[in-house]
Amino acid sequence: MTNVLELRGITKRFPGVLANDKIDITLREGKILALLGENGAGKTTLMNILYGLYKPDEGQILVRGKEVTIHSPNDAIERGIGMVHQHFMLVPVMTVTENVMLGVEPTKNGIFLDKEKVAKRIREISDQYGLAVDPTAYIKDLPVGIQQRVEIIKVLYRQANILILDEPTAVLTPQEVDGLFQILQTLIDKGKSIIFITHKLKEVMHAADDITVLRLGRVVGSIDPKDATPEILATMMVGRDVNLVVNKKAAQVKEVALEVKDLFVRDERQNLTVNGVSFEVRKGEVLGVAGVQGNGQTELVYALTGLLPLDSGQITLLGEAIKHTTPRNILERGVAHIPEDRQRHGLILSFPIHDNMMLCTYYKPPFARGVSLQAKKIFSNAEELVKQYDVRTPNIYVNAGTLSGGNQQKVIVAREFSRPIQLLIASQPTRGLDVGSIEYIHSRIIQKRDEGTGVLLVSSELDEILALSDRIAVMYKGQIMDILDASKVNKEYLGLLMAGVHPTNTATKN
């Protein structure tokens, strides 16, 4: 068996960071190589080097044993390397055909686009690899899973033999993930080779032929999937033993903290994205809201925290109905909010940590007296929280923007948890964080639950939902498909609900 691709001693430095440090990787023909690593381990940098988007400072790239130089995506495409990016590189207002042909357009008479020819080729590829898609459909109308197929078709249309998939499962439902793995198997059967980048341990063991683990820009080691366990892989990724299971006691459920009834919300473009949602969160429990991204969870949280107006419906917070109110009013009633977009809604990146630590309460004593801010109190508050919540920072005077994602999130958690709170609304609290930070934030959320806070947890990571929730609500197209007891669900059933299929009555819901 030959090696179709070899990277030798790839090194890439960014100002102040060594992103890749002498990385060696080998891809065998007709195999799936999984590149495993945390965010910031250098996986994406490495693949961008391979695809010609970055230039390596040192090292060699060998395709079928021959050294090649790749300066641009065009070079990569020429050598048969194709990439499916984590954030899809598709133009939403164009058709599948237009997206596929972009950059290598066949023409009639040398002038006019030959869309029929491309559409025909797309159908051939569809048949050959089991990638059903309508060439005339507009990308914006397609579900994410199909968009991913279009990305794969784009790569195959360019006759790639080596496919790189960057975090391909991040946006998919469990069923779509299974479908993707089948597609990958078909591709392998037809002689393609695949590099599969991920940070999800279980997928790697399921799909890969070889596993290479990266940490902090270096190769930690390679391992055969047969010998791997989640614990071993996690330890390799993080560099220390990690507790993958969240320990939690049975919930001590008390009175209702939040009640939502027939809630309808429109997003900024006036689309009805929350479509008649009802649920309640009791003190001392975690209600997890599962669902594929973009099914109204974001707008639901915005409405609950006062960032979007309600179209209709009722929100009762701690026994009081709230309507037409401000975010500050909601926060003052004892709601903590860990926002989905921590850099936009959670922090002011160009403010120092000490100011970010008091953003919710800066206008009240002890931080303010009359019209003046009390610097001493602000500093001591920040010093204390940084210590208590283990924020890794040189001091409290640096800007929040200089911190890593995990530490930024810790600043938000510290700020929100240091106020007296009755209800915690946490939206994607661990997105993009390393395993260590995830572990920490999970334990803090459970600690709050045990102290008697109601928790509404919105996450598109099913594992996170399953680990933390006492009850699970599944959202699909703005509606809640079902609310289940967390101890009695299985993943397959949740996956069906996330895809909009209600298994009890085979009729589909909308």
Partner 1 sequence: MTNTNIQQINPKSAKRTQIIYGFVLIVVGLLIYLLFGLNTEAGVLTTFGLNLASSQAIKIPDLVLPALTTVYLMAAIAVFIGAYQLARGIRSTGALIGVIAFTFVVAFLAWAAQDKSFNLAGMLSSTLVRATPIALAALCGVISERSAVINIGIEGIMLIAAQVAVVTASITNNLYVGLIAAIVVGGLVAAFHAFLVIRFKVDQTVSSVAINIFGAGITSFISSRFLQTATDTLNNSGTFPIITIPGLSKIPIIGPMLFENNIIIYMMVLLVIVMHITLFHTPWGLRTRAVGEHPKAADTLGINVYFVRYVNVIIGGMIAGLGGAYFTIGSVGRFDEIMTSGKGFIGLAAMIFGKWNPIGAFTSSLIFGFADSLQVKLQILRVPIPSEFLLMAPYIVTMIILTGVVGRAIPPAADGQPYEK
Give me the residues that bind partner 1 (CB under 8 A), please. 51, 53, 72-74, 77, 83, 85, 89-94, 98-99, 101-105, 107, 111-113, 141, 154, 270-273, 275, 477-478, 500-501, 508-510
Q: Which residue has the tokens 């100002």?
A: 15
* Cross-strand partners of 373: 368
**From the centroid of its chain, how far is CA 157?**
28
Closest CA to 210 of 10, 9, 36: 36
Residue 354, Cβ neighbours under 10 Å: how many? 21
| 298 backbone φψ class: left, alpha, beta (φ>0; ψ -120 to 50) | alpha
- Which amino acid, one-letter code, is at 31? K
Beta carbon nearer to partner 1, 271 or 329: 271
Amino acid (1-letter code) at residue 247: N
Query: Which residue, among 27, 78, 88, has the nearest Cα to 52 in the 3D structure?
Result: 78
Give the residue with the Cβ less far from partner 1, 147 or 169: 147
CA–CA separation, 29 vs 425, rounded Å? 47
Residues β-bridged to residue 197:
35, 166
Contact 396, 383 (CB under 8 A): yes
Whether the ω angle into residue 366 lies within 30 degrees of 0, i.e. cis, is yes
What DSSP letter does each residue of 210-238 carry, written as one string? EEEEEETTEEEEEE-GGG--HHHHHHHHH
If we measure between CA atoms, which residue out of 8, 155, 182 comes closest to residue 89? 155
C-beta of residue 39 within 8 angstroms of C-beta of residue 433 = yes
Rounded least distance, CB 456 to partner 1, Å: 22
Give the single-character DSSP code of 342.
Answer: I
Pairing outcome for strands 372-373 and 368-369:
antiparallel
Q: Report residue 158 as tokens.
A: 């360019």
Instruction: State in angstroms the smallest separation of the CB of 246 from partner 1.
Output: 34
User: What SS3 class is residue 58?
Assistant: strand
Q: Which helix (H) or strand (E) covers residue 447, if one does?
A: helix 435-450
Q: What are phi and psi of 247, to 5 degrees?
A: -85, 125
Give whichever of 51 and 196 is closer to partner 1, judged by the CB atom.
51
- Give the contacts of 142 (CB within 8 A, at least 6 positions apart): 96, 133, 150
In this structure, are residues 427 and 458 in contact, taking their beta carbons and an 8 Å threshold? yes
DSSP 277-327: EEEEEETT-EEEEE--TTSSHHHHHHHHTTSS-EEEEEEEETTEEE-S--H
Say how far residue 208 (Cα) sits from the centre of its chain: 21
Please identify, using beta-carbon distances, which residue of 151 and 464 lies nearer to partner 1.
151
